[in-house]
Amino acid sequence: MAGENIKLVANNKKAYHDYFVEETFEAGIVLVGTEVKSLRLGKCSIKESFIGIDNGELFVYGMNISPYEKGNIFNKDPLRTRKLLAHKSEIMKLTGKIKEKGLTLIPLKVYFSKGKAKMEFGLCRGKKLYDKRESIAQKDYERETRREFKNSMMQ
């Protein structure tokens, strides 16, 4: 992913706050014409979305792609369920891991890679309230040490 031509459309920062991301995966998204145009304009939200597996296929639920302004009758429902494209072996692996207690699939990023709409999603375990507080405290500590280091370099 580092050397490719990537245009980020949506980023789910809330997922990193609410979940421990154990593993990440990439899949293509099945879209219709006006949805692609709307995505290219950056009109997408994945904050409340999640991924489910039905009949051996991946689907993303709750992903909001705003209707394209010039799309008139060709626009689809902004919250419709969309299929994700992944290899069968990867889906079977994910199915086995989801059956473990507390694991779920959460979208992390939506982006264009080489002209194709892609989604990065993570196999996640939910954080408890004390875990969230610990994460916030850790970030504050790191920010404070960077600030002190920067100030010491200035003097």
Domain count, the chain: 1
Mean pLDDT of 41-60: 87
Helices (H), the chain: 13-18, 33-40, 88-98, 129-154
Q: What is the pLDDT of residue 71?
A: 65
pLDDT at 38: 84
Between 24 and 75, whose confidence is greater?
24
* 149 contact partners, CB below 8 Å, separation of at least 6: none
List the CATH number of the domain containing 27. 2.40.280.10
The SS3 of residue 147 is: helix
Residue 132 placed within a domain:
no
Name the residue range of residue 30's domain. 6-126
Read off the pLDDT of residues 56-95 as tens digits, 9 standing for 90 and up.
888 999 888 888 777 676 667 777 888 888 899 988 888 8
Q: Considering the entire predicted model, what is its pTM? A: 0.74
Residue 140 placed within a domain = no
